[in-house]
Chains A and B, each alone.
Chain A
Amino acid sequence: MSTVTAAFDEFDDSLKLDPDERQAAQDCHHEIREVLRRAGLATGAFLQGSLARKTMLGPLRDIDMVVLLSATLRYLRDKPGGATEAMRLLQGALAKAYPKATFNLAKHALQIDFGDGGFSFDVVPAFELEDGTDDVEIADTEQDCWERSNPRELVRAVAARNQQCDGRFVHQVRMTKQFVRVQLDGKVCGLISESVAYAAITTRMPHPLACETIFGAYARMIGGPIFEPTGRDDLAGKISSDLVEPARRQFADAAERAAEARRLAEAGDYQAAIAIWHDLFGKEFPVPSLVAPRVAATAWAGGSVTSAGTISAAPLGRRPARPTRSWRS
């Protein structure tokens, strides 16, 4: 087995959510749903967002859920201030059940924070649309209205792509998000990474090639329209304009470096490849093995300096060095 494959397996494992934590989040979500159901405010709830789509990076903290409001609250759809009132009703019931939690009303969600060591939930009040679709109408407290949304369709789209890619897609999305976290301070929202990956990856492919492909797609797409996987919403407005050019350069450079890493791995220099990936993804990616100066000096005779600043015996790194025999007249 290629040690680059093993390194990516280890990297992939490091990005997975802790299963106990994930279960605890699920349990909390069910508990919130039951509190609201018992209060007569909700008929059901479902998870949305990156946790539901299995593309979330740890730590597991911010969880998105849609709460389906009871039919008795339908009057809120037409009442001025109805969106805010819906959130206040949910807050009232949840505050009784969780007296130590803190609450904040945002545009689409009631944000509940269970404090240090606990989760935070974005609870989105919504009504089922009875039009044959599984879209919902979600509260918008800023526009004081209820707007159509398709969170279930988004979850299905990503799940279908993941199946098309033999289960690898969501792992490659997490890797992309990790790159954004390390290289761009997480300044590009996760759904954009998912959307770029969705546009770029349509078939099963090895992780190194997928990462190179996604980085290249990002460099081409950023600054233009980026539609989320259902094709309804353009997310381009979520990237601040002063970030576009620096991000484009970062992704273009990353695509080049990923290609360099793949060339080196194909030539058999797995450690040089791993050094580049480690540079790109940060400490969650395995560290390459240490090479003694004697070995590196010999390798450098006709090899190259890679973009990670290591020596490869293959002249395929960023800066190859023509072999020469030093002399003196």
Chain B
Amino acid sequence: MAELTSFSAVLTDPHGSAKHLTTSYPLAVISVRGAQPARVMLRARFEPPHEFAIAGYPAEEAGIIVTATGAVHAIPFNGSTRSWLHRNPPPLQDLCLWYPDDPRSLRWEWPDGLESYLAIVHRHLVYEEYYRREAIWPVEDAPHGVGPHPLRTRQMRYLARAWRDEQNAQTRP
């Protein structure tokens, strides 16, 4: 399996990381927008997957901010001209990609690699466009605000279990 991009790799070698991420993600071009010791900003351009490209979905662009504390945020470019369902309030207005109290299998963490984060961002951006067109979020999302918010759908319960089992299988000695 190809090496995953860690946050220390992004901070110490942002250009190398951007090149690696571009190579490993089929529909993304990643470039460095700014790099400082405590913070790197990447620019991610995502082409729509084929099924969505045929339907006229646009390419999407987002800034990916990685800080030395390990925080990572995705902020859509041209965000003010479109409506968004799942974006945090100001000042950051970053995309809200997962519910923080969901099980580990439904949340991203750095050991998953930045590649996996980008995949979630890409999907989220396409889902937001789907919502603009269809007025429905295509899969289960968590209600806004503080929970508890138990899993409601069979699909999400299945996926939570399947990804948990897969992760356990990979970490088993």
Chain A residues with CB under 8 Å of chain B are 275, 290-298, 300-302, 304-311, 315, 318-329
Contact with A along B82-125 (1 / 0, CB 8 A): 00011111000001111110100111100010011001101110
Contacts of A326 in B (CB 8 A): 85-86, 95-99, 124, 127, 137, 141-142
Q: What is the interface size of chain B, counting residues whose CB is below 8 A from a CB of the partner? A: 60
Q: Are A324 and B97 in contact (CB under 8 A)?
A: yes
A296 to B87, CA, bound (A): 23
Give the top 3 A-B pairs by smallest Cβ distance, nearest first: A297-B138, A296-B51, A324-B98
Within 8 Å by CB of B49, from A296, A325, A328, lies: A296
Contacts of B25 in A (CB 8 A): 305, 318-319
B50 close to A (CB within 8 Å): yes
B9 close to A (CB within 8 Å): no
Contacts of B100 in A (CB 8 A): 327
Q: Are B51 and A322 in contact (CB under 8 A)?
A: no
Contacts of A294 in B (CB 8 A): 134, 138
23 pairs from A and B in contact (CB 8 Å cutoff) = A292-B55, A296-B51, A296-B52, A298-B155, A302-B159, A304-B119, A306-B26, A309-B26, A309-B50, A315-B163, A315-B166, A319-B115, A321-B116, A322-B163, A323-B139, A323-B159, A324-B102, A324-B120, A326-B96, A326-B124, A326-B137, A327-B98, A328-B145
Contacts of A297 in B (CB 8 A): 126-127, 130, 138-139
Told that A306-B26, A309-B49, A319-B119 touch, could you supply 9 new A-B pairs with CB distance under 8 A? A297-B127, A297-B139, A305-B122, A310-B49, A311-B51, A319-B115, A325-B106, A326-B124, A329-B146
Known contacts: A302-B162, A319-B26. The answer to whether A327 contacts B116 by CB under 8 A is no
Closest residue on chain A to residue B87 by CB atoms:
A328
CB distance from A285 to the nearest CB of B (A): 15
B24 close to A (CB within 8 Å): yes
Known contacts: A326-B127, A327-B86. The answer to whether A301 contacts B49 by CB under 8 A is no
Within 8 Å by CB of A305, from B27, B145, B155, B160, lies: B27
B60 close to A (CB within 8 Å): no
Contact with A along B33-76 (1 / 0, CB 8 A): 00000000000000101111111010000000000000000000
A302 to B98, CA, bound (A): 13
A309 to B50, CA, bound (A): 6
